[in-house]
Chains A and B, each alone.
Chain A
């Protein structure tokens, strides 16, 4: 093992803001009053909110210190499977802060918002082209919101066709949000099991698909990082009984420019702009979960929709079958700018190459580590690979222990204990933005940890030992949560 990236340095402690400062201290001076004092209506007088009294420097140091406790993509590799934590190019941020865009008010009339509307319209067209679908809404705020939108569209479609269907098929390799989104729309989910190859077999779907089933929710590639090879046949079975095929596009990063979801049987799907299209993720959000549909579902899309005619763009509510509004104003517009910028800066060939490299990187990790870690599905993977802790069982070392130890080596742990179909799962997604040197360093770190598991398992059980905060008691945190400061 070369020198580990992880080291211990001077990290400063920092109290809560309320425990800092001093009464009367302030970060700015109020301007001199230049109006006549006037009484304030009764009922809105009284003590102000409990804000801490701080100087600007107090606040700057507070957040700078907290940021030093943190680990993000700009710090190091973050191979969180199923989440596509790829680098967010700074040009996206630069474009999103253009004054014309940051100053655009959502209540401005269409004739004064042509640039913003054009950007939304073109982004919709690009996403339609990438997915092979026909129409797009940009409103949903993130992936699960997109699923809800998609399920509402499925429901509206069946209602419009005069049929009442109560079930949705959800494979065991789906994201947990899939059955939840279906349930929120009043559907009950029918679980189906993946086969020994880790994918869904047409026979299993045929066995449960009936006239009371509204459709199926499929993630392709699935959460094992495997391509659903039977997708066309599954879509045929579902369509034959009048059902719709919903695609969870969370794993679209593996197939941009390579597979068009619209061509292989999907009727409606969502994308995660904060995964595939490189907008900030998690706390850096908000996210974006556009929903793409085939033509025959377009009448049900949320309103308002951006339409183009006679040389101008405008917003139209004139869609009588629409499921309505899903978000205030037009969705998370800043996210749309960043995704648009990403697509424009990458270009079609660039997006395709990103997917190729994402898949290549995952397969490189899979092949490099399969001697060290148990690989439950030993076959070509897509953009992520799933290992388990089976080989470490005799040392009583678990996936959790190895994940925690990775922190000491300077890597964010991968996704663990998901997908549920693999016992002790460790799900690694490097993405295309990691260089070979960094991936090699990650592989070396995991190999070193596997060796430590044999030679010094106690080291792993007490890991991490280098970060400011050591291993947290997850059990106590869940059983006796302390939600106040």
Chain B
């Protein structure tokens, strides 16, 4: 039971890390290597407001979300859209986007180092609560609930609203979506901005229980990439399922075998999925 509860909470963390990238890569077709840095930026905002103004991270996320949305929208409009327009093919765009966002990640690391080079450490709701007989930290549980809310919200929106349907259409085929009157550029910008907002909110929440620093973003980018690729690009259910698998397996391995083997287990699963289902759990086969 401990394993299931802790594993699900860890899955919530991983879902927060990966859902944003899933939208950005799945719909806007931007392989955003600055994803982890954006997450750390959200964490920095949360840390900084908590330490200087004693503002609860649970309030900070309502500030972080619109700011990150606007910031990412601007980044897409002015930095990435020119790349999208001149790209001759999907592959071409991916290479350009990877290079551009990789550079962006350095700028963001530099900015964050100049603001606060030390560890973002503070204590917020570390107290224990008991869930199904298992002790967990309240801050992790809250992050999990919000991850569930964001995941469910995105799923419902994508599958049960018109803009959501348009978004999925863009994810499947930008050309065809354009032919049926969907403003692909606008939809992509919207997806990129939403993804950014989700990632930054995730960072703000994660900072309550993981100690981050300005340079740690790349670890989260890696994790997000693994989850997105495992789950299948452009499908929010895939990212969530992949996060759950990783969370539970890592916790089970840490508890039953050895904490030293968690990374091995995670990469083993990743390898197996790449071998037997290269398109990801929910991905479509490339046509």
A, B bound: no
